[in-house]
Amino acid sequence: MTGRIILIGMPAGGKTTIGAALSRALSVPLYDADALTEQTVGCSIPEIFAAEGEAAFRALEALCTETETPCVIATGGGAVLTEQNRELLRRSGTVFWLDRTVDNIMSTDYAAGRPLLAGGEAALRAMYAVRCPLYAACAHYRVPDGTVDQMKDFILRLWRDTP
């Protein structure tokens, strides 16, 4: 496997939380695409969407995977929307799809800071239906839904046991 673990999945799917747990367990840095994009631009994701639109946000987001150092990368939920990004993700590291159920995502504060989820449950379910095949096409491994520790341990087992 490469030195980079890349986490993909739905918005509010736990990528940052599980990424932080993996980062600690492996003693490597965590690069959170959303946080890095906000730092680079100097404003929040909702502000980027309002001022520049989704396409501009996606272009900024893709830049976050272009690192050569061993690390964990927590992508934005829409990082898989273009074929170019899916190919970039797959060649940049080992891609793990955190496949959380819509019901579990809805049990969190899923819409906070996520402009595309302002439509509530219906928006989340519609997004899930569109993105699931894209996540599946991009991922090297699918991580079944579970607790943070269960999902982290699943990834670590695969990471350590696969040549």
Instruction: State pTM to two decimals.
Output: 0.83
Per-residue pLDDT of the chain (163 residues; tens, 9 = 90+): 458 999 999 988 899 999 999 999 999 999 887 776 666 667 666 676 676 766 666 666 666 556 668 899 999 888 898 888 898 889 889 999 999 888 887 776 554 555 656 677 788 889 899 999 999 999 999 999 999 999 999 999 999 887 6
Q: Which helix (H) or strand (E) holds 109?
A: none
> Taking the alpha carbons of 141, 15, 118, 90 in that order, is the dihedral positive or negative?
negative
Burial of 42 (0-12, 13-18, 19+ CB in 10 A): exposed
